[in-house]
Structure 1
């Protein structure tokens, strides 16, 4: 019996040591923990996919200025006093211009007492040059008296989150663009292949804004189908008048491509 008790004490001691070894030790650190919310906004935010690049798509926004909040998380203890972290711009990896394309960074950002997250509020400014190109700002976390940088990459954990690849979490890239990208609420079976000309025509016909096509809750499947039916009717009417609507691009043989809706309309 004494032998069993001794073994039990040894096992419990080992488990206690193992747990202690797994705790984070050393100076607390910070890393970028920017995640991509799914279109439905459902699920546990803690397992949403991490991303190392955030795009500010001015073509989907109403304002000429736009601010995004980039989450920075503490690796270590939560404490009962305010702490600060610092961020710099990596000039060699940045094509946007400060004060022209984006607002200067703050000297420091706060992790409030009792919190493990802080935010970098980054403001970009729409410029005419962004119609044709995307401009980038690369941000870099810096060590200071409160925080080190103990983790430089995020390695996805199988079945734990939806991140697909290893990402740098010491740096984060912000892209500034006014180009028209395929929005979230675009069902190819209804609208057909995506094009800038087609989405602009839909906006003109139905009094929509580009931002409407990025809202999957308001722009549900029924609304998409209704708009696609309206577009289909318009395209057929124009063709009947001898004024067929073509896309801006041409096919592989150099012929104009007739604008069309999807196969389910």
Structure 2
């Protein structure tokens, strides 16, 4: 009886040890790497996380823009630098050196860190006025990290977003500012918006959400006076369609 008992006990211990070994083996793999913007916690209630960003020059005066993309990893910090593999997805049609430049010399999680910031410089190009270009990144496996965390499901919408693919959509497709009033500024055109911004030293985006009616009136009157002065000096300013540029009826 005792012999049978000890045999069963030994078998149970062996089974437990084998189970523990299998459980421990799960954690011997490489740490997972992912795009932080999709994997982070929401900053506030109702925030919608996403695996892409639209980067538009439409209401900006700048000719280029530097953006940040954070790559993060799970697990403990290490006392050595750990390179990770970041590649351009073949679906991208943005052209390196023309539409963008990646400023990082290497892609590496530095020692005692759990993340890295990739800096991307986008250049404002004429072809962006008619088309949105895609720059898509993939995280791939290397000797240090595994992209095994492939996606997450948002509880608010049940939408699946990628943790290992991040997309940038960049364009310069102009939009009419939200507070643009034809009565003061006239018919909206790209050329007129950029001239107003240059002449008044304001950001085009200011006309989208911040400008007051009083300012709009002053801007319209100032710009019409400027256009009149340019015409009197023999430098009439025309729209792209060849018509003379004018401001709104309320400021004539």
Question: TM bucket by the smaller chain?
Answer: 0.5 to 0.7
Greater Rg by CA: 2
Does 2:64 correspond to 1:65?
yes
1:8-67 Cα deviation digits (max 9, x unpaired): xxxxxxxxxxxxx9xx934201111226xxxxxxx9479854222223322344433322
Counterpart Cα distance in 1 of 2:175 and 2:152: 27
2:108 aligned counterpart, secondary structure:
strand
1:224 corresponds to: 212
- What's the TM-score, normalizing by structure 2? 0.60
CA RMSD, 1 decimal: 4.2
Which residue is 1:88 aligned to? 87
Q: Is the 8 A contact 1:88 1:140 kept in 2?
A: yes
Contact 2:81–2:108 under 8 Å retained in 1: yes
Is residue 131 from structure 1 mapped to residue 129 from structure 2 by the alignment? yes
SS at match of 2:212: helix
Matches within 5 A, 1:141-220: 141-158=139-156, 165-181=159-175, 186=178, 200=194, 203=197, 206-212=200-206, 219=210
- Asked if the contact 2:135–2:169 (Cα under 8 Å) also holds between the matched residues in 1, the reply is yes
Matched, 1:30 2:36: no
Indicate if the aligned counterparts of 1:87 and 1:108 stay in contact, CA closer than 8 A.
no
User: Which one of the candidate residues 114, 117, 121 is aligned to 1:116?
Assistant: 114
- Give the Cα–Cα distance (whole angstroms) in 1 for the partners of residues 165 and 176 of structure 2: 26
Give CA deviations for 1:73-105 in whole Å, capped at 9, x if unaligned. Answer: 1122233332221211112x1111222222257
CA contact (8 A) 2:180 2:207 kept: no
**Who is 2:51 aligned against?**
52
Q: State how far apart, in whole Å, the 2-side matches of 1:57 and 1:28 are.
A: 35
Contact 2:79–2:111 (8 Å) recurs in 1: yes
Question: Alpha-carbon deviation of 1:157?
Answer: 3.7
Gaps of 5+ in 2: 1-22, 223-239, 241-247
Q: Count residues with an aligned counterpart.
A: 200
Offset of 1:165 from its aligned partner? 3.2
